[in-house]
Amino acid sequence: MNKTTQAEIAVIGAGPGGYAAAFRAADLGKSVVLIDRDPTLGGVCLNRGCIPSKALLHISKVMDEAHSLSKMGVLYNKPSIDLDQIRSHKNKIVSQLNQGIDKMAKARGVETIQGLASFKNNNELSVKTTSSDSTIKFQQCIIAAGSTSSMIPGISIEHESILNSRTALELNDIPKNLLVIGGGAIGLELGQVYSLLGSKVTLVEFMPNIIPGADEDIVKPLYRKLNKQFDSILLSSKVTKLEVQKNNSINVTIENGSSVTRSNYNKVLIAIGRKPNLELLKIENTDIKLNVDGYIDVDAYQRTSVENIFAIGDIVGNPMLAHKATHEGKVAAEVCSGHPAAMDCQAIPSVVYTDPEVAWAGLNEVEAKQNKIKYNKGEFPWAASGRAIAMGANQGKTKILFDPENKKVLGVGIVGPGAGDMISEAMISIEMGVDAEDIALTVHPHPTVGETFAMAAEAFLGTITDLYVPKK
């Protein structure tokens, strides 16, 4: 029997954006039902992405730091890897956070359903669970269905030796050699993890540089380190063929211009991006419109072309980041609840959690030159930072782009340990419209890598004493 229930707000997807939307709407007095296919809340980010990857990155970073201490007179034996224990540690962290989200849902009175939700029309959802089918009639709906890993165009193959971000995080074994396809955040982070755990890693990237979204000078210190850690890095290259062998290894054909190479790998990780989870939603049963890029089209209030249906997160387009989804979720919930809200942020920060970390926000130099936007910049090399030198992080750098007229911050790029935390100060600067003098005159603690933000502003102003900058 098909049961029909009523809901003020139905939220599809319990990832960072979905549960934020559900919890905020509940806090504003709405009755909310939260639907997700997974048995646990948290979505891809918590269960199969951001959090487990950071747990593994922390382990690999500590291993690398321990190794680097040999240069400082502290010697360790070669580490012994217990994969079962590492997996247990990772899963424990995920489980702890799962439980926390579940408790918050219960405390707020949010009804949670494990099932597959799809649209029947502009006002109804069909929900399939393991035991029954039901219909939810909603006043308003927030779509937070997320995304899934993209595959290589023209290559459709599934095999246990061909990994994606989810299966790579399962850490079933450490292959002798691993090919990583894609030089973005996921490929670099997981590639570094596997490399430090013992795999010989080869990276293939279609573009002429890794992390195409960031300036080359900010990426360069990471590239130098990966060049030492990885077996090889193949830029401006593409994989054209994958062939599974009888021993479960993968023969790979790689093209670089007119050059074609064929190599064999124990496993291949495909990390070329993600695509929106649209296929199961049956949005064709609604009047929801997609944009030219194939994402759900929304306005500044996260509202779709249907008045009572909103969409947030990966399913509305780039950047596909958890923190963007969270903010969009809160906006959608507040608008649904009759409160004034809009997604009008000046920038979205991006972080690659490798070692060293790479972080950027706002305008970068490539974009500025492409769009003929005038800028000046202040830079501070971490080779002049006492704290960075003590940490062995003298390859780091802090760069700020300023408007030449009003000296306000246009964009920031940082590379080095803790760059992902430092970019928060950059975001406040961009959002608040602060100028170079505001930053330079703010007393930063010494010795820290955080003070390099102020020093970059001082370098721009010509007031810096920790560097000698010849007068122009």
- Which positions are annotated as active-site residues? 446
Residue with tokens 């747990």: 55
End-to-end alpha carbon distance in the chain: 80
121 within 8 A of 135, measured Cβ to Cβ: no
Cβ 122 vs Cβ 309: under 8 Å: yes
Q: Whole-angstrom Cα distance, residue 315 to residue 349?
A: 19
- Residue 132 phi/psi, 5-degree rounding, is -160, 170
Tokens matching residue 365: 């130099």
- CB-neighbour burial class of residue 279 (10 A; exposed 0-12, middle 13-18, buried 19+): exposed
> What six digits make up the tokens of 458?
């001082």
Distances (CA, A) of 347 to 360, 410, 424, 427, 464: 10, 9, 11, 7, 28
Name which of 381, 395, 364 is nearest 455 in CA terms. 381
CA distance 99 to 112: 13
